[in-house]
Structure 1
Amino acid sequence: MRLIPSSVLLMLSAVAATGVSAQRAHNSNAPIDFGADHIELQDKANRAVLSGGVSVKQADMTLNSARMTVAYTGEVVGGNPQVSRLDASGGVTVRRPDQTAKSQYAIYDLNRRVITMLGAVTLTQGGNTVNGGRLTMNLDTGRAVIDGSSVRGSGGATASGGTVTQTGGRVTGTFSVPKRN
């Protein structure tokens, strides 16, 4: 594992900042609205499978993909099942204010309030772009970490709909430079 200089981590934090402030947290307690061409409920397995133009919105964040598995706890509060995890695959895009992340797969762990994106990840904010194999976004802190590979060491990481087996790589990107006189 390569160590990343603190100056690069500070720039990545700036890229990962949501809105105006890096400390701005996402409201992960907000209801989750969804839309899809098809939904299959698998009540005995406590999950639903959405497919075809899947769109999920929570507060100011939108997640789009071709397919998504929604896991719920089995607990019902106010007539609604309690969602614990979303596994998305196929052209995944996560949009937050002033920030867009794209990948092949994504896992949103609602209990931990963390989104992990895998495979050909691109994170953009303003004129800044960072590319890598895996992106981990902490929705409480606004901190994002990008790794050059989608897994540590050898092997693969499984996500809904496939396996990502990239084992090497670098984080690359472009940072905008302020105009100077």
Structure 2
Amino acid sequence: MRSLPALAVLILALGLATASAQEVAFPGLRTDTEAQVEVTADSLSVNQAKGTAVFTGNVLIVQGPMRLKAEKVEVEYGADRSKIAKLHASGGVTLASKTDAAEAREAVYAVATGAVEMTGDVLLTQGENVLSGQHMTIDLKTGTGRMDGRVRSVLQPGGTP
């Protein structure tokens, strides 16, 4: 009988862990990270010395089937200035494919690794299923990810997380 309280604590701890983080499949956000990146915006400011470019106003970034929209995107180029290293998006960020869409306040996309980190009131919609939290990481190469920060799921019967 002494182990019953310990078991109850373990079950409670596992339940809390599940509520704070959730592994997620993003098959619709899987993309070819070697594909060309196309950026359109209302304006562009370039700083050659820093190796950056800032796109502002109705920014749309397209890479394969993936679309990223935001108010502002700072592009950071690699050391040789020939390839994009990172994209820092802010202001109503939406990352979408044909089947999945994720919204957040900010996002950072490391192009070489295919890693996307979204922060601030993250909302993921996959069909009729909805997942929300404060922080989400996505691996665009594998189509997998993780949601953290008071995760909430609304799953439809027969749906997958």
Query: Is the shorter-chain TM-score for this pair beyond 0.5, marking a shared fold?
Result: yes
CA contact (8 A) 2:57 2:71 kept: yes
Q: Which has the higher contact order (CA 8 A, sep 6+)?
A: 2
Which structure 1 residue ranges, 5 or more long, are not aligned?
149-169
> What's the TM-score, normalizing by structure 1?
0.74
Amino acid at match of 1:47: T
Cα displacement string for residues 27-55 of structure 1 (whole angstroms, at most 9, x for unaligned residues)? 00000001000100101100000100000
* Cα deviation, residue 74, structure 1: 4.3
Distance across 1 between alignment mates of 2:30 and 2:130: 21
Which structure 2 residue ranges, 5 or more long, are not aligned?
1-12
Identical positions, percent:
28
CA contact (8 A) 1:94 1:102 kept: yes
Instruction: Tell me the number of residue pairs that the alignment of Structure 1 and Structure 2 aligns.
Output: 144
Amino acid at match of 2:17: L
Amino acid at match of 2:80: E
Distance across 1 between alignment mates of 2:61 and 2:77: 15
Alignment of 1:170-181 (within 5 A): 170-178=150-158
Q: Which runs of 4+ in 1 moved over 4 A?
A: none
* Cα deviation, residue 92, structure 1: 0.1
Aligned: 1:18 with 2:27: yes
More helix, by proportion: 2
RMSD: 2.1
In our comparison, the structure showing a higher alpha carbon Rg is: 2
Cα displacement string for residues 42-72 of structure 1 (whole angstroms, at most 9, x for unaligned residues)? 0110000010000000001000000010000
> What's the TM-score, normalizing by structure 2?
0.82
